[in-house]
Chains A and B, each alone.
Chain A
């Protein structure tokens, strides 16, 4: 490792380190504008100039010594850019000389010749590197007359979300490089040159990227500002609260910037294991629902057929008394549906209320078309090892991304997998029924036929066994039932499987070789794979078998990652909001009814007498029949709430404390930022209040006999959300020790800003990701990890489709788009233009056969439904499949895998 001396401080750094990075190690600050640790250096701004020298060598190649016996230094004749110069052994750097100070002063003065310096009206003012570095290194005065300043366009919209001020731009190209290198959406560029150099957007619609908001953060000046936050507060006036994004299952760490009891802006908070320093635009901009005027503000009770405002006591008493009455007849006539958007505390208590107080196992969180959430047991057993970082998988890792579309469903995971593949050389194998954006980064992109997923996986397994690449040691010691499994697999040759799933046998063999021979192997499976698992248990078994025969589990970078649709799907499974799964992913003895069974079909009599619906909207999917007594607890008057007997207003994630567990099983803490809207209460409080009322009545009923611990009202006294988590941390083994204090460890707090705290202690350049890599939150360990001697069983199941290749009719594939017609998105005006118009995508072969041209209006019929849509003809879907994004205008609750008919209108 080369040793360098920077301002007389010696430091050893790895080969290839840049001088700026080496300087940080010894606490020397080198000011930068264009350099960013997450981006490739370009040396555009020259702010980082330093004096650099290397040891002088004589003709014989020996290092010459000076009079004192120290190596003589050959100083380079001119200053060098510290952000592009790589250190070498013996290099000496000086940053504290007059020459360097002069250069910095000149660069700042030069930048300011064409800078408007309208800091008082600039959104960056207060956290602006240009401001800070001017104060620290710039001249107090300019020699250029202010009238000769160069003026340029000041209010240039770059799309709906971002505003560009061309005058303020210092042409550092951070935004362009972010789009090219990190987001890989090449939508920004430079036009013209010299003084005319401008940032332009090259895409239509303008700035078409799901990550555009990040350029606001990394722009070192106020050239790129958020059209949402724009001019609505000064940055030092917004108070930052650490939180976790509640939109998707990535669980990006965020800071909620609050002023006047409203969210002014959301910026990412650093967490190297989750979102680095980024978020997607949905997480950043879709927050207006928290203060939407139609939020529920008081409990509502149905009186004379109308929902009318009521007090909390009235509403809660009514719920408790009706539950009590129905429970008296039959506890199993009460069912609970809790959405997987609620926090862990809420879900835990919801389940506790049903199992321990009401005595019913009719519980489910899988409400709504997209929430299939399969594989709870597999993740418990084979879940990817603690320490897996999806953004830093290297060439020793092969990752199979199966049936997932992270670009639309977990955007930041797409970003991180891209980084793993492009920067660290991870080997991605992307397999899906269609081509997704992630396929671009894959060494192999495989498109199978929807419905034949099991054959694809069996083909991989068979190819591994054929070439004797299985991990025989692991199988011998840890795996049971291998021989029987291999025998059952006998008829499934790679060729047969390939024929059925429409992937070429060579490709299957090639992928199988990579999987088996790679030192580490991860499977990430997404929503489309979950649908497949729901229809065919062979898919889940084959996924497990793939891990077992190769022995890839129980270590970091090995095992299974389920890419769930919502922010707390993992939590909903962990805390047993399932008819057959208990707290901590255990099994319950007496299986209850699933959501599907509870809701029944239209025209059927509902099987439940009472339903408690929390944070989900089953009526939105149609076919909902109101039971005798319906309680809905939500933020808005949803379609289900309109039918309810009692509506209880809940608080949004921004008004309360709580924890979410992300898709990688990482529990993360979020803090209240806003004051409650109206009389809304946190979900956990409402559940506990209902429980207390139920329990105090029940005590009378069982008086004389033993009152069990959970039937005492005192056991339902929770003062705060953290008290609920304390109980979880003490009683649920998966979450052992995960108290709020433990989850708050390492949480990176708000960036210091000018005017806050002691100025002498503040770094002048505060770019995120510069100072250290921070990781917070806690991941629970899977069985394979925590028990090094656990034995696993290979279970065979026959694929549900017979072993013949038939030509299938058109199958419906359902996609999700990041911005859809959901309630939360609909409250944010500025993203509305990004919600796509509904369409159906058809393969060009099928389109030709059917005589459908691109853009034509078509009628799509399936499952006794007919919808009219515009057709898109391209190569993203394979033949025999049509793709419709769900939850856009008129496309709710589409049945994945249904047979469809398409005709021209």
Chain B
């Protein structure tokens, strides 16, 4: 059974990330709606994961032993669908239908609507619980797959996250679940520190997790953090990736206005040029 690729070099991962970013801004421009900011901040996490860590077979998306990637921050569909398309789950041509009537690529993910979509999302805070059920089922069935759950930092406001965070160590699921937090510091209404201040490192540590921090846009650092998270440890692992909302596009970076807003035609062209050139 095909599983993962041979390790992909950091340079190659960066090239893939560039393509994913271009898809993101183009999809949101075409749909004239969607969530570019929190999509651009998750790119390195997703690319490192899908190419170097997730045990998967895009040609066989219901393979029972596959690792599950669960997008809990369900609004980041431009990121999610772009990664799935680049990884080979479906044709990148599908991306142009994003958010249109009849397309499987809804604004928030609908489970099984397209290959690779593991869970319906959009109402925040539900992914980690879903992963616990999948992981416990895997244990019952003698399968060793992992569940990788990507959350936003604004999402950590939801109480259900902490019900689940408590339960993962309680059920000793550290080798079956790895949590990822995209710590971009901005949520729907503005800067997270103003809306509802959270302390992810202290909170996860307090709930019994091992916290691994990294620069979420340094591909090598992300890749290394995910490798570290895979290593056995007495505590379950959460990677808190420090990121920049809107990363790679100057006028979207650290701008709450682009949490859920589409660029104009001129902005799209500027964004594509900056992504290609590598905004410093």
Interaction A to B: no
What is B's interface to A at a CB cutoff of 8 Å? Answer: none
What is A's interface to B at a CB cutoff of 8 Å? Answer: none
